[in-house]
Amino acid sequence: MPPTPRDTPVVFTKGLTKVFRDFWMRSRVTAVDHLDLEVRPGEIFGLLGPNGSGKSTTIKILLGLLHKTSGVAAVFGKPPSDVAVKERIGVLPEESYLYPYLNAIETLDYYGKLFEIPRRDRERRSNELLEMVGLASVAHRPIHEYSKGMQRRIGLAQALINDPEFLVLDEPTSGLDPIGAKQVKDLIVSLARRGKTVLLSSHQLSDVEDCVDRLVILYGGKKRAEGTCEELLTARDAMSLETDTLDEETITELERILAAHGHGLRRVAKPRQRLEDLFMSIVDQARAERLETGGAQAGGATAAFLVGEAQPERGERLIERLVADAHAPEPEEPQPGSASAPPPDEDARIIESLVADEHPEPESAATPEPSGEPGASAPEQTPSDEPDLGVIESLLSPGDEGSAADGEGRGP
């Protein structure tokens, strides 16, 4: 499916309504009430609201997991039930339902197979994602041994395994420590810069404020506010001034000047840094001192395939060709004395060893050494300029039986 044009909304709803009914088809609760949304390509869109406001229901309708009662809903210009759009979407649900006895590598490989990603790409992406989310050192541990924060990390990795155009994140920082939460926010911003579209639903309002372009606040299934953080959060009835530290005399003089113009000085206080900034500065200092920790490691750089970096082939095309050749009809044995084939490279030797059990190689065409035992027939030989020493020795050996036996297999 071709990419969505920049002027086509990734998500579009008009009058979207979802009513849950009881057994007798009586209206029980209206989860979404005539909701109008428009998520543009390449933007980070925040979907906010308290519990029961309709956020999760809206997301499930957009993913085709629930059917709307009325209204219009479209993703990439298609109905949410259209299977063709699924490969372009990555989803991190509020609760990560993972197979507990698979490890991290097996989990990512499983989800990669669902998207029919080739094996070599699955392996490369899995390694890059585990490094990115800080789980490379525990990649072989079963998922049921992971903490909640570690499970959110692997859940985020599986949401990115197909390199989606549209990423749906429901409470992505739930259970994460401040280090992981900051990494997720930085990742969301970097993905949007690359042109991906992100729908972010979270109760952590500070996380949303740090990265969204626009947001909607829901209550009772209805839209109560919409706009950018700048539009919604800027105070209209107050203004702050930041200066160097002032003494009491200067502050008193400012109060007098403001009063002369009909204004008052509401508050005088020193600015305070954010708690997240203080926390991260302490962590960075501890890392600089190389202090050990038993938790998940800090994530690495964004996975190369997510930022569009070219990947080396590393002999993968050759390996695929050799695997295909292993199932082809066996070639005829080369005759002794013919020009020898060039030695196989390292990739060929590896793949030949992998398929040896299922497809044994034909016996070597090299001339076996003569056994020297009476009655053993010598292999057929093609004419050669070099003397056959084995034949000469058999002719010189005593006994008519051995000579007759040796003579049966000789050529002219």
In the prediction, which pLDDT does 364 show? 45
| Lookup: tokens for 184 | 């997720």
Does residue 409 surpass a pLDDT of 50?
Answer: no
DSSP-assigned letter for residue 357: T
Helix H or strand E encompassing 46: strand 44-48
Highest mean pLDDT: which of 58-72, 249-263, 285-299? 58-72
Residue 62 banded pLDDT, cuts 50, 70, 90:
very high
pLDDT tens digits along 236-264: 777 777 788 888 888 888 888 888 888 88
List CB contacts of 276: < 8 A, sequence separation 6 or more.
Answer: 178, 182, 206
Whether residue 359 contacts residue 326, with contact meaning beta carbons closer than 8 Å, is answered with yes
Tens-digit pLDDT profile for residues 359-379: 455 544 444 554 444 444 444
**How confident is the model at residue 279, as a pLDDT?**
66
- Position 349 scores a pLDDT of 56
Q: How confident is the model over 298-306, as a mean pLDDT? A: 66
pLDDT digits (tens, 9 = 90+) for 155-212: 999 999 999 999 999 988 888 888 888 888 888 898 898 889 999 998 888 778 888 9
Lowest mean pLDDT among 176-185, 246-255, 315-324, 344-353: 344-353
Mean pLDDT along residues 310-323? 55
Residue 366's pLDDT is: 45
Return the minimum-mean-pLDDT range out of 19-33, 39-53, 75-89, 343-357. 343-357
Q: How far is 144 from 253, CA to CA, in rounded Å?
A: 65
Least confident of 92-101, 215-224, 251-260, 363-372: 363-372
pLDDT digits (tens, 9 = 90+) for 20-47: 988 777 778 889 999 999 999 999 999 9
**In terms of DSSP H, where are the helices of 176-228?**
178-193, 205-211
Task: Say how far apart CA 156 and CA 214 lie, in whole Å.
Answer: 22
Global pTM exceeds 0.85: no
Q: Provide mean pLDDT across the span 108-119.
A: 94
Residue 155: closest CA among 137, 173, 128: 173
Token pair listed for 153? 């990390």
- Give the confidence band of 404 by pLDDT, cuts at 50, 70, 90: very low
**Residue-level pLDDT at 214:** 93
Confidence check: pLDDT of 152 > 80: yes
Higher-confidence position of 84 and 283: 84
**109 pLDDT band (50/70/90 cuts)?**
very high
- Which residues are 19's β-sheet partners? 30
CA atoms lying within 13 Å on the CB side of residue 324: 6
The answer to which of 57-61, 121-125, 280-284, 290-294 has the lowest mean pLDDT is 290-294
Cα 130 to the chain's mean position, in Å? Answer: 8
Q: Is the pLDDT of residue 407 over 90?
A: no
DSSP letters along 287-355, please?
HHTT---SSPPPP-SPPGGGTT-----TTHHHHHHHHHHHTSPPPPPPPTTSPPPPPP-HHHHHHHHHH
pLDDT confidence of residue 131: 92
Mean pLDDT of the residues in the chain: 77
320 CB-near residues (< 8 Å, 6+ apart): none
CA distances from 402 to 107, 373, 389, 392, 408 (A): 67, 8, 16, 12, 10
**Rounded to an integer, what distance in angstroms lies between the CA atom of residue 100 and that of residue 154?**
12
CB atoms under 10 Å from CB of 136, counted, come to: 18
Choose among 337, 347, 288: nearest CA to 313.
Answer: 347
